[in-house]
Chains A and B, each alone.
Chain A
Amino acid sequence: MITWQGFLKRFFGDPVAIGAGIVLLVLVLMAVLAPLIAPQNPYDLLQLDIMDSEMPPSWKPGGDERFLLGTDAQGRGVLSTIMYGTGISLIIGIGAVVVQAVLGITLGLIAGYKGGWIDSFLMRLADIQMSLSTLMIAIIVLALFQAAFDANIYADYAIFMLIIIIGVAEWPKFARTVRSSVLGEKNKEYVDAARVIGLPARKVMWGHILPNTLTPVLVISTIQVAEAIMTEAALSFLGLGMPVDRPSLGSLIRSGFEFVFSGQYWITFYPALVLIALVLALNLLGDWLRDVLNPKLRRGED
């Protein structure tokens, strides 16, 4: 086990971790504070002026100092849309991981602790789920959803749909991780000690075993947030994700993509840069967490 002090010490001793942490912090703050600090509100149609469309970044000839990173085809400032878009991407990423974690931890815990046919059944279910690509499921479901409802309803519920689809499609990763740690933990004597006093299975599972399996869960959560954001971006890029008027980073990249070859690279380039920075920071932090929390790599320190 690692203490908080030890954890912080390791964090501040590792330049990569600090770098990734700072990038993530800046992006999260930017997203959270977007309504306060963004130069425009891209959702407010009154603030938009079609005359401002497709302006280059402010330091380029023809740029406008109101729009630091230029504007897109609808006259929205790229910087502002990135700020709001990062928020939407993060909400989808974190929301999807919460769904994954709730489903995956519950099913993984039950499969690992109960064993037998329940385990076989749940794990085969996981295998089937994993053999269907997340993107494929998402494309089919979202395409049906888009076809079945009109654009306004779709725009209102797209964010929930994305969270649920990405969440459900990826639960096996959590379930497998939790199950394998449960298998390791459930034969330890402290579990037997809890059973000797007649504690019901529910309490043994949630009260004793689960807290000892959370380390790997924490690691994959970080990496899964990055993955969910990427999935959402891919879906949005295909036109099946967030609608253009409530853009995520993925839909921003898509909306600018058709202008890349006519020279207005900034509409795509800056959101893409932010997306890469966000995903990279999350992955680096996830890897760092794994190294720090893995007791095998930390021998002789406690």
Chain B
Amino acid sequence: MSTPSVNSGPIVETKGVEVRFPLPTHFLSREKPVLHALNTVNVSIMPGESFCVVGESGCGKTTLGRSILGLNSPTAGEIYFRGQRIDQMDEATRKPVRRDMQMVFQNPYASLNPRRNVFETLAEPVRHLMPELSANEARTRVEQVLSETGCDPSWQRRLPHEFSGGQRQRIAIARALVTNPAFVVADEPISALDVSIQAQILNLLTELQQERGLTYLFITHDLSVVQHFGTRVAVMYLGQVMELASAETIFAEPKHPYTQLLLEAIPKLEGGSFDKPRQPGELPDPVNLPKGCPFAARCHMAQDRCRQERPQLRGLPNGTEVACHFAE
């Protein structure tokens, strides 16, 4: 690709990314089954966005985030960060890039090493990725980021088990921000938290974005969060992007039948979502993917073509991109 200038182009771009996981088999068996976690995913995330990836478990949304950060290596396709291809970089060249890309995990009870105190947890990324900082500068940096994320400086010498879920998630956010990244993958950062804490964390993420001009890749299963938080949304199903649109558009005019199903399924305070009975819907087996559209089995509009031919993302007049033969 031609290298676009750093400012105008997308901050993160994936081109035809595929991730396959070989399934464990007996070492003598001939079959080598693979799980298709991601199938030709193309997304480009612009600087300053809150790009949301929505889908149910097994749809590949977490795999996408992890691939961008290099926690999974794509089996095919390319990943770019500020125009630079990063998926095949060796560790030495990648190091300066890592400083700019960080991650906040879902479960604050597992994402902090239980045997390290808060200071050690936060100082590690600084020491490793910013070796030019002196010990004193590193300490100042840790303290500063802690106070920005609403953590008390006195927490530094304490261990994770002394904190509540919300406090831990703040610490995890502080760790992600300590190297001053431009891009943060937030993988379901509030779904493990209690309702009254979720709003605190969402507000914190919004504030930090405004202060630091962060770009988020926000992974979630909860569309109501997307509605509040996201600028653009990719709806994923079985490793594929089914619909890609701005947050307003997707709630106003959902095009893909799967997006419509997701929106209907949200429990609403006004009621009425659960009144009509639904037939059980099943995900197809991600090991033996169907030939056609992965959603065809649950789709009310499915026709023969859907079972034969896999739809690709195509643009609609309202700016939405949708992977469906019949959506319009």
Contacts and interface: CB of A to CB of B under 8 A. Distances in A.
Query: Do A and B come into direct contact in the complex, CB within 8 Å?
Result: yes
Interface of A: 1, 120, 188-190, 192-200, 208, 211-212, 302
Nearest to B27: A120
Given A197-B129, A198-B128, A192 B105 contact: yes
Given A196-B71, A200-B91, A189 B98 contact: no
B94 A198 contact: yes
A192 B115 contact: no
Given A192-B105, A196-B102, A198-B91, A1 B128 contact: no
B44 interface: no
Nearest to B97: A198
Interface string B214-258: 000000000000000000000000000000000000000000000
Nearest to A191: B113
Interface in B138-192: 159, 161, 172, 175, 179
A189 B105 contact: yes
Contact of A211 (B71, B115, B128): B115
B69 interface: yes
Q: Most chain-A Cβ atoms within 10 A of its Cβ — which of B94, B101, B113?
A: B113
A179 to B, nearest CB: 15
Interface residues of B, number: 30
27 contacts: A1-B115, A1-B161, A188-B110, A189-B110, A190-B114, A192-B66, A193-B103, A193-B111, A193-B175, A195-B70, A196-B69, A196-B70, A196-B71, A196-B98, A196-B102, A196-B103, A197-B128, A197-B129, A198-B94, A198-B95, A198-B129, A199-B128, A200-B91, A208-B113, A211-B113, A212-B114, A302-B161
Interface of B: 27, 66, 69-71, 91, 94-95, 98, 101-103, 105-107, 110-115, 124-125, 128-129, 159, 161, 172, 175, 179
A212 to B, nearest CB: 6
B295 to A, nearest CB: 29
Nearest to B92: A198
Contact of B110 (A190, A194, A197, A198): A190
Contacts of B114: 1, 190, 212
Nearest to B101: A196
Contacts of B71: 192, 195-196
Contacts of B129: 197-198
A1 B110 contact: no
Contacts of A193: 103, 105, 111-112, 172, 175
